[in-house]
Structure 1
Amino acid sequence: MYFKTSDELQATYTIHCEGYNDFSRTLNNNTLSGYTTNHEYLLVGAISGQINTITVTLTNKQGNPVDTLSWSYNAPSLQGGD
C-alpha cells in the first residue's frame, strides 16, 4: 500500500480472521522517529483461503489515532501444501 499524509503519522495494522488470533504490527517506514508523510508498506499475515479483515490505523506524535480504514480481503488458497 502507498499513500501520503500532510502530517507525520505512524501506521499500524491488524488482520482479523475468524478462528485465528489477531495479527498486529507497527509498519516500518524507515525513519528514526517512526513517523512520516510518505507511507509505503507491504502487509503480511493474511490467512490463505479465508476472509481477512484488515484495519490500518494512523496515529499522530501525541499517540492519538487520526484515521482508520478497514476492508475485507479474501486471500487466495496456496498452490502448494500447508
Structure 2
Amino acid sequence: MNLSAFEAEREMMLLVQEADFVVVELTLYTDTHPDDEEALEQWRESIKKAAEIRRKYEKRYGPLSLYSIPSEEALEMGWRWNQAPWPWQR
C-alpha cells in the first residue's frame, strides 16, 4: 500500500508523538520511583528512541521546534520559520 506524502508525514508524526508520550510517562514514574532500576533503564532507552525518531522526522520534513538543529536539507533550502507552509499547512 502506497501512502500519500501527507499520510506518510502524519504517520511519522504519530511515531514522534508516541515516543514523546512514553518519555513523559516514564519521567513521571521515575520521579516517584527513583530506585526502580528497570524503569530508569526503560527511561534512558525511550529518550534515545524518541530522539532518533525525531531526527528522522526533522531530516525529512523540517524542524519541529526552535531548539532543533536544522538538517542539511533545511539549511540548503534556506529554512525560515516565518515562511509558509507551516507544519500544519502541509
TM-score above 0.5, yes or no: no
- Name the one with the larger helix percent: 2
More contact order relative to length (CA 8 Å, sep ≥ 6): 1
User: What's the TM-score, normalizing by structure 1?
Assistant: 0.28
User: What's the TM-score, normalizing by structure 2?
Assistant: 0.26
Larger radius of gyration: 2
- Name the one with the larger strand percent: 1
